[in-house]
Chain A
Amino acid sequence: MKIHVLLGAWAACTAVLILTFLLRPVEARPPASRGEDTDAGAAGPKFSAEAAAIFGKRCTACHTYGRGIKVGPDLKGVTERRKRDWLVRFIHGSSIVIKSGDPTATALFAEFKQQRMPDWIDLSDPQINNILDYIAIGGPDIKPQDEHDAASAAPADIERGRQLFYGLTALRYGSQACATCHTVQGGMRGGSLGPDLTQVYFRYQDKALTYFLRQPCFQWQMGESTDVYLTPKESFAIKSFLRNVALQNRAALSLFEKTRGGGSQ
């Protein structure tokens, strides 16, 4: 009978834990941290990595910035051509604005072969305003910090990259440190679920690695937007650290080869 009581208690505890887990409130990222960006110094006062990411993901398929008409109009200067509140309404729900008989919206609808823009109802007003700010400051023409060549990194950037890689400094958007799944130079400190990243800088080269670092490895938080994974500054720091590791490894290998060659002679 004792085993029944123990198992009963165990099952009850498990059920309570599962219920607690099910009923817990869904945590959201603090909204204040999403609009701003610590990389402001790199690209003007209103540069937002999130806005850049959303612009790249949702706008560039149909719009260009300063390169003429694609499917929709060129967005360069759009914040001067149209009023801000009209743009916010139009981005949120272009179909509603067109249906309301708005003359600008209906004219655009007719001009662009009645191709209607998707209603971005999931974007909040601050997010849309951030995108418009990004367009207003010429964001698409600004080279984000993560696109800078890792060869230009200062020792402080490499050290910051090391700290971010190992999780000694938290990543801004709450993503997990690379060392959760990866390691470098066969070290035991990092995980081994993912590949060893010692040679990744030379394998991918600077540009490809930049784009790779913009994609999250895992969507590990339910219901979270994965538009942004690292800030450009974090991405640059991690890239710099990985380049440094690759260089160190190459130097160690060549030294090893030299020593072995010298020994055999």
Chain B
Amino acid sequence: MKNNFLFGILPYLSLGLLAVGILARYLLLKKQGVAADVSQARSVFASGRLWQGSVLLLVAAHLVVVLAPRGVLLWNASTARLYLLESVAFAAGLAALAGWLALLWRSLRQRGGSLLTELSDTVMLALLFVGITSGLLLAAFYRWGSSWGAMVLAPYLASLLHGKAEAGLMIQMPFLVRLHVFSMFAAIAVTPATRLGSVILAALQAILGALAKPLAAAGRAAAAWARKHNPAPLFWPEED
């Protein structure tokens, strides 16, 4: 029952909280803007090239396993390639842990937000720690996560995207695997309350702004064309 909730309902709950939280943040920061929060978020969550590089590498590796499971299994068919992939991922995990420690040190020395934001940032840092350490531990104790991850996690996440969560796939996994996946969903749920919420909001605004530019240009061009080819004088000639 508990596991059914954690892996059947919580993922949707997390996404819902993310959407609602981002919307609420948008409404709250509509006037003052998000620039200050983004700058703070950068110093709390995105400092250090080691951290940035390792996290990007890990996220990319997880995405590849989830989005191209067959390709990963084909790659892993060769023992040498399997060892290469796993050792690079493990090294990235260790680098991320070192980066996280630096991040924590920096975060402890740097204060200056509301209590809720500070608390949420701390929870997020803790979840990141749980995610990274559980990932490292499961890589050490449950070998070749890239292979079994492609077999189990890919269909599980696909089932979530299709709206029919196959919680059973996760329930049969060892505790560390479940903890790793749970920490991801929990992090998604907490994100809007942290400074990262502002980063997401800023990114969304940037995307929408970029999309709006050509639309606005097209609208202006259409208005100019309509003015140029205005049929009104044909129907209502100006009176002398």
Which residues of chain A have a CB within 8 Å of any CB of chain B?
A: 3-5, 7-8, 10-12, 14, 17-18, 20-22, 167, 176, 180-181, 183, 188-193, 218-222
Contact = CB atoms under 8 A, between A and B. Distances in A.
Interface in B190-219: 199-200, 202-207, 210
Contact of B142 (A8, A188, A193, A218): A193
B159 interface: yes
A180 B142 CA distance: 11
25 contacts: A3-B42, A3-B202, A4-B202, A5-B206, A7-B203, A8-B207, A10-B203, A11-B207, A17-B63, A20-B67, A21-B67, A167-B77, A176-B147, A180-B144, A180-B147, A180-B148, A190-B143, A191-B143, A191-B147, A192-B141, A192-B144, A193-B145, A218-B151, A219-B169, A222-B155
Chain B contact patch, size range? 35 or more
A215 to B, nearest CB: 13
B115 interface: no
A190 B76 CA distance: 11
Nearest to A176: B151
Contacts of A20: 67
A14 B63 contact: yes
Q: Which of A12, A167, A220 has the most CB of B within 10 A?
A: A220
Given A219-B155, A220-B152, A18 B161 contact: yes
A147 to B, nearest CB: 28
Contacts of B79: 189
Interface in B138-180: 141-145, 147-148, 151-152, 154-155, 158-159, 161-162, 166, 169, 174
Nearest to A180: B147
A138 to B, nearest CB: 37
A167 B147 CA distance: 12
Interface string B89-133: 000000000000000000000000000000000000000000000
A221 B155 contact: yes
A176 B73 contact: yes
B240 to A, nearest CB: 56
A21 B157 CA distance: 11
Contacts of A192: 141-144
Most buried by A among B46, B169, B203: B203
B37 to A, nearest CB: 12
B4 to A, nearest CB: 17
Given A180-B144, A222-B159, A7 B199 contact: yes
B38 interface: yes
Nearest to B162: A222
* Most-contacted residue by chain B among A4, A7, A22, A222 (CB, 10 A): A4
B148 A4 contact: no
A193 B199 contact: no
B66 to A, nearest CB: 8
A220 B143 CA distance: 18
Contacts of B161: 18, 21-22
A8 B173 CA distance: 34
Given A3-B46, A22-B161, A188-B143, 7 more contacts: A181-B144, A183-B143, A191-B148, A193-B143, A193-B145, A193-B174, A219-B169
A3 B162 CA distance: 32
B67 A191 contact: no
Contacts of B155: 219-222
Contacts of A180: 73, 144, 147-148, 151
Nearest to A6: B203
Contacts of B46: 3
A218 to B, nearest CB: 6
